[in-house]
Amino acid sequence: MKTLYRLSAVAFVLLATASLAAAADRLTVTIDGLDASGRFADDAAFCPPATSAAKDVSPAVSWSAGPAGTRSYALTMTDPDVPRDLSLINKPGTTIDDGAPRVTIHHWVLADIPANITALKKGAEGDTLTPHGKPIGDTDHGRRGANVFTGFLASNPDMAGTYGGYDGPCPPMNDERRHHYTIRVYALDVPTLGLSGAFNGAALEKAVEGHVLAQGEAIATYSLNPKLTTGK
């Protein structure tokens, strides 16, 4: 009986230790400015309703400090709810069914965030929509990569360019699915990922492999469909 008790106690300690270790591998990420349902404010959107006084303002984001050995952070914001068939987007007389095939795109790509930074204030990555895009490259809070609008707007002469850092939600008005925007932060064991030029979100995600000490995420929602403007 004593042997069984000891084995149970050891098992409990091992499980508790494993649980603490797992908790240490997670960052707590917070997005400020969301409403009670978890929806982005309209001013965070790339294409908000006409009633919004501002547009494309990067949200305030903060995260818990990484574990010992953290030498930098990286951040992405993705939307996994984009219709695969882009020809359906805002097409008159067409509704995009909630169950339509989807793809994931990157709205925010930021590498080499210094280890002493665990928050980005509202507007740090832009406080207005910038035609042709904000510049890629180094800032005082990290190195901007290129987001999805670089490709989306390539054929529009009034807007084409390399879109660096953050550019916000612009979900189809005719989409029956509410879009979910995941902001993910990685604590890394290297001071730089060595990325340069117009690197994209996929390149960042590849570069962090083998260097992640901890990570965490937070999700915000957004829709321009009048049927989906409230609730989660």
User: Quick check: helix, strand or coil at residue 15?
Assistant: helix
- Within 73-144, residue ranges assigned H as helices are none
Q: What domains are there in the chain, each with its CATH number?
A: 25-228 (3.90.280.10)
The per-residue pLDDT for range 189-224, each reduced to its tens digit, is 999 999 999 999 999 999 999 999 999 999 999 999
Terminal CA-CA length for the chain: 52
Q: Smallest Cα–Cα separation from 58: which of 197, 166, 146?
A: 166
The per-residue pLDDT for range 60-99, each reduced to its tens digit, is 999 999 999 999 999 999 999 999 999 999 999 999 999 9
Evaluate if residue 4 carries a pLDDT over 80.
no
Looking at residue 219, its amino acid is I
Evaluate if residue 232 carries a pLDDT over 50.
no
pTM of structure: 0.88
Tokens at 217, concatenated: 């995420």
- Which pLDDT band holds residue 25 (cuts at 50, 70, 90)? confident
